């Protein structure tokens, strides 16, 4: 593992569906190797990993957490 923590800001912007799936798979593989990824996105993308935590911020600044 080159870096234990990946910080990604909108990693899926301007990617086609195949590229989004590729990036999601890379993130999932990183997580499965014990890495950590913190990312922001406006797109719902399934990342293949055992443990995913999501923090949703709404327009009214109310938050929802999904664990």
pLDDT score, position 59 = 64
Task: Report the number of distinct structural domains present in the chain.
Answer: 1
- What would the two tokens of residue 64 be? 């929802």
pLDDT score, position 60 = 63
pLDDT tens, per residue, the chain with 67 residues? 578 999 999 999 999 999 999 999 999 899 888 899 999 988 887 887 667 777 877 766 555 555 5
CA distance 14 to 37: 20
CA distance 2 to 20: 22
CA distance 51 to 47: 10
- What would the two tokens of residue 63 be? 């938050």
DSSP 50: S
Q: Quote the longest CA-to-CA distance of the chain.
A: 39
- Domain range for 46 is 5-66
């Amino acid at each position: 593992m080159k870096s234990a923590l990946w910080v990604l800001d909108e990693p899926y912007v301007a990617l086609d569906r195949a590229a989004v799936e590729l990036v999601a798979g890379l993130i999932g593989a990183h997580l499965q190797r014990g890495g950590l990824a913190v990312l922001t996105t406006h797109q719902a993308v399934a990342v293949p990993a055992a443990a995913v935590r999501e923090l949703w911020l709404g327009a009214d600044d109310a938050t929802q957490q999904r664990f």
